[in-house]
């Protein structure tokens, strides 16, 4: 999986404005919608929130990876948002989340979704990578952490 095929400066926002979980999800979806990557934003939102009710995608160490399989996209799409002060995303470790990586993939495609999540997870599991993302002052700096 080549992250550069999915991520670019247009889908990175280093200063998310929202302060609640559902609003962060909407703000991230808006990034994808503005880039014409989502056909049906309401369906995408519904699918993500359905996934969140099963188990929070707030993982640990300040990272949340809201994701869903949905008919609202025709290919794997993703975006990154940063909220330096963090918000409660019901993370598994109980900590606030401040790095958000949203991904949506078509309902009928499994491989790319799993590969993307694995590659992202491999990178953000290090404290150094997370700190570099949080200290970034531009989308290009964020992407450089992912080798883009």
Q: How many domains does the chain have?
A: 1
Average pLDDT of the segment spanning 121-131:
95
Number of H helices, E strands in the chain: 5, 5
In this prediction, residue 9 carries a pLDDT of 97
| Closest-CA residue to 66 (of 75, 56, 76) | 56
Q: What angle do CA 90, 95, 96 make, to 5 degrees?
A: 75
- CA–CA distances in Å: residue 122 to residues 15, 73, 106, 117: 24, 25, 23, 8
In this prediction, residue 111 carries a pLDDT of 78
- Structure tokens given for 114: 């799993």
Average pLDDT of the segment spanning 32-46:
97
Give the CATH number of the domain where residue 22 resides.
Answer: 3.40.930.10
Q: What is the mean pLDDT of the chain?
A: 94
| Closest-CA residue to 65 (of 48, 53, 50) | 48
Report the share of the chain in percent with pLDDT over 70.
99
pTM: 0.95
User: Which residues on adjacent β-strands are paired with residue 58?
Assistant: 64
* Range with lowest mean pLDDT among 103-107, 113-117, 120-124, 129-133: 113-117
Domain that holds residue 48: 3-145
């Amino acid at each position: 999986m080549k992250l550069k095929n999915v991520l670019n400066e247009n889908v990175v926002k280093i200063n998310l404005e929202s302060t609640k979980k559902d609003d962060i999800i909407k703000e991230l979806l808006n990034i994808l919608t503005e880039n014409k990557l989502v056909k049906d934003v309401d369906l995408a939102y519904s699918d993500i929130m359905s996934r969140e009710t099963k188990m929070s995608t707030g993982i640990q160490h300040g990272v949340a990876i809201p994701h869903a399989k949905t008919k609202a996209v025709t290919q794997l799409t993703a975006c990154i948002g940063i909220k330096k002060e963090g918000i409660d995303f019901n993370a598994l470790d109980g900590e606030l989340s401040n790095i958000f990586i949203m991904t949506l993939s078509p309902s009928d495609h499994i491989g790319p979704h799993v590969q993307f999540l694995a590659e992202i997870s491999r990178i953000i599991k290090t404290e150094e990578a997370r700190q570099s993302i949080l200290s970034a002052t531009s989308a290009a700096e964020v992407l450089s952490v992912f080798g883009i």
